[in-house]
Amino acid sequence: MEAEIIVQLIRRVLKKNINIHMEDKIIDLGFSSMQMVQLAVSLEEHCDCEITPDVMAKISTVSDLVELIS
């Protein structure tokens, strides 16, 4: 369930319907710096948590994102 949410959020921010795998590195999905921040904001709105730059720095893969909102 969370995995599906993450995939949808990523696609919405990227505005493209790409294939996303859990082991994908977020940085390889084609985000600009601004889109990275947009994704963090979307995640915060969704899971009602704070995602600081320190938290972002430690999250590397899609799977890490799923774990974050689980």
Partner 1 sequence: MNSFNFIRLLEEYANGKSQGKHIFLNPRKNVSKKVSHASLIRRSFGFSYQLSDAGINKGDICYIVSNNQETQLICFYAAIASGAIPMIGAQLPRFGAEDEVSNKIAYWKKLYGARLKVISENELKTNSIIIDNINSLPDALQPASRMNVKEDDILYLQSSSATTGSPKAISVSHKNIFTNIRQIKKGLDANDNETFVSWLPLYHDMGLVGAELFSLICDYDLILMPPYEFTRNPEIWLETIFSYKGTITAIPSFATDYVIDRIETVSDVKLDLSSLHSVCIGAEPIRMDSLEKFYNFYSRYGLKKNALVPCYGLAESTLAATFKPSRTLPKSLLVLQNSIKRGEKVELTSNDSNNAIRITSVGELVENLRCDIVHNNKVIKNDLICGEIYLRGPSITQGYMHDPGFISLLPNNTLSTGDIGFMYKEEIYILDRDKNIIIMNGVNYIASEIETFVAELLCVEKRNVIVFENQINIKEKKIIAVVEVRNNYQPGDDIKKLIEKICTSSIVNEIHFISRGFIEMTSSGKKQYFLARKKFEIGEFNIVNICSRSM
Closest CA to 68 of 43, 45, 31, 32: 43
**Closest approach of partner 1 to the CB of residue 7, in Å:** 15
Which residue reads 């949808």 in tokens?
A: 8
Closest CA to 11 of 33, 49, 39: 39
**Closest approach of partner 1 to the CB of residue 22, in Å:** 14
Question: Of 5-64, which residues contact partner 1 (CB under 8 A)?
Answer: 14-18, 25-27, 29-37, 39-41, 50, 52-54, 56-60
Cα 55 to Cα 39: distance, rounded to the nearest angstrom: 13
**Closest approach of partner 1 to the CB of residue 1, in Å:** 21
* Contact set with partner 1 (CB under 8 A): 14-18, 25-27, 29-37, 39-41, 50, 52-54, 56-60, 65
